[in-house]
Amino acid sequence: MAAAPEVTGSRIGHPMSTLRIEGGHRLSGSVAVSGAKNSALKLMAASLLAGGRTVLTNVPRIADVFTMIEVLRHVGATVAFEADVMTIDASGELRSEAPYELVSRMRASGNVLGPLLARQGHCRVAMPGGCNIGSRGIDLHEQALGRMGASFHFDRGYLEGVAPVLAGKRIVLEYPSRGATENVLTAATLARGRTVIDNAAREPDIVDLAEFLNQMGARVTGAGTSTIAIEGVESLTPATYRVPSDPIEAGSLALAVLATRGEAELIGARAQDLDVFGGKLADTGARWGATERGIGVSMRRRPVAVDFATLPYPGFPTDLQAPMIAYLCTAEGTSIVTENVFESRFAHVAELVRMGADVRLEGQQAVVRRVPRLEGAPVRAHDLRGGVGLIIAALSADGPSEVREMHHVERGYEDLPAKLRSLGAEVEATWGDDEVWMDLPQVSTTRDTP
Ligand code: UD1
């Protein structure tokens, strides 16, 4: 047993192993959506840009957040996490390294590259390597920061960057990578002069990150568009920021409700983050719309098949591809799903077929044909979003299912069994035998995804 971490308020727990689901219960009611994983992780990494105490609220208590706490502590920050409030103190000299053990567990650990390079002039980040959804390079990060004056070399599985001075430049990203946009954006806040990122990622978490940086004293404009401009400043000061609600959790819960032909309100969710996704749901015959408190969804009949292709924001989010396929398995007609963002993000398909789905893979496409119903079965989560797809399928299936390797799902969903139960689902979680602190390394035989 490892020594207790300095993090206060973290829970002792076991990684969840299996979720048993008795399918066929219609989900209804209202449920609160937690803070966004992908915003919280970036804000935590960006807090390293300022000496002093950053306070983040509405932070989800999920395994990835605990991994990022480890990364921050590894570099020398002090972190406290009580309920949903996180305080990060990054005063003093930091150690500029994101070790392999943490980067291989969670690729977003590499988001410390930009902040550490800007603040320390040096950073060593383990190469992420492959994961269960594709090879996922870091070349765009390296090229862009290289243009700003950083020099990189590879050293035994690590990318090591040195930048005594970073200078603002016009960076044209070959692809609107979120991670590369974020690392350039954070590094540019302390660079000399003006940086312009063209073909920048436009996701809501980029907007959150820019707003947070501006509250720290940065001068960022254009976030949320393809062109972001950053005027470098001398230093940043800590800020307090509320993490907005998680669009991917909102979309996943919506699909769980719709797959069971239910009706629910997703409290705190922002419909404007999910326009294309919401439009596709409407095309299937579902009701989807903003309410005063969040998003309302309902579905009374068998959905109609729709085609969709994943794309960077504002396109259909790749993180909702697996949950959407699960929903479409019993839709009337044939759906053609094209995965454009990751090269091998279809591990859930073979598991869905075990539940009676008719889904065939043809390269980057999945062809989903109607089956009258899914049947409960034991299945295995291979990655975070694929695992949630299986849960959605199991909720709508006839009879009992077991979704195994739930530690993947715990990476990104806070209290999912409790949330599903509050909507009327019959689910029961079991936990592994090894007692661990949630913020200490978990044993995993496979490396995972976003
Ligand atoms: C982020 C999200 C993840 C989401 C993904 C795509 C976080 C923590 N994770 O991941 O949930 O699925 O966006 O919306 O926010 N690429 C390269 N070279 C690079 C960088 C990226 O080839 O230097 C490729 C990747 O292999 C992938 C694609 O570009 O095929 C998208 O990657 P990117 O947008 O960078 O995703 P992440 O930031 O890793």
Residue 8 has pLDDT above 50, yes or no: no
Among the atoms of ligand 1, which is closest to the Cα of residue 142?
A: 23
Residue 436 has pLDDT above 50, yes or no: no
Percent of the chain residues topping a pLDDT of 90: 84
Residues with CB under 6 A from ligand 1: 38, 41, 107-108, 134, 136-141, 175, 177-180, 318-319, 341-342, 450
CA of 110 to the centre of ligand 1 (A): 11
444 closest CA partner among 394, 381, 350:
381
Provide the pLDDT for residue 111: 94
How far is residue 1's CA from residue 414's CA, in Å, rounded to a whole number? 25
Q: What is the residue with the minimal CA distance to atom 34 of ligand 1?
A: 177
CA of 177 to the centre of ligand 1 (A): 5
Residue 11 has pLDDT above 50, yes or no: no
Among the atoms of ligand 1, which is closest to the Cα of residue 106?
A: 8
How far is residue 331's CA from residue 111's CA, in Å, rounded to a whole number? 39
User: How many Cβ atoms from other residues are within 10 Å of residue 334's Cβ?
Assistant: 13
CA of 72 to the centre of ligand 1 (A): 21
Tokens 């050293």 locate to 155
* Contact (Cβ atoms closer than 8 angstroms) between residue 194 and residue 168: yes
Provide the pLDDT for residue 133: 54
Instruction: Quick: pLDDT tens for 264-292.
Output: 999 999 999 999 999 999 999 999 999 99
Beta strand pairing call for 287-290 and 294-298:
antiparallel
Torsion from C-alpha of 220, 237, 72, 145, nearest 10 degrees: 40
Among the atoms of ligand 1, which is closest to the Cα of residue 175?
A: 29
Instruction: Quick: pLDDT tens for 159-200.
Output: 999 999 999 999 999 999 999 999 999 999 999 999 999 999
Instruction: Quick: pLDDT tens for 148-160.
Output: 999 999 998 899 9
Residues with catalytic roles: 131
Average pLDDT for residues 216-233, to the nearest whole number? 98
In this predicted structure, which of 3-12, 216-225, 396-405 has the lowest mean pLDDT?
3-12
Instruction: Quick: pLDDT tens for 76-124.
Output: 999 999 999 999 999 988 999 999 989 888 889 999 999 999 999 999 9
In this predicted structure, which of 93-102, 202-211, 282-291, 326-335 has the lowest mean pLDDT?
93-102
Where residue 34 falls among pLDDT bands split at 50, 70, 90?
A: very high
Residue 425 has pLDDT above 70, yes or no: yes
Radius of gyration from C-alpha coordinates of the chain: 21
Q: What is the residue with the minimal CA distance to atom 37 of ligand 1?
A: 179
CA of 120 to the centre of ligand 1 (A): 25
State phi, psi for 232 to the nearest 5 degrees. Answer: -65, 145
Among the atoms of ligand 1, which is closest to the Cα of residue 181?
A: 35
Average pLDDT, the chain: 91
Residue 72 has pLDDT above 90, yes or no: yes
State phi, psi for 312 to the nearest 5 degrees. Answer: -60, 160
Provide the pLDDT for residue 432: 74
For the chain, helix (H) and strand (E) counts, in that order, are 14, 26
Residue 326 has pLDDT above 80, yes or no: yes
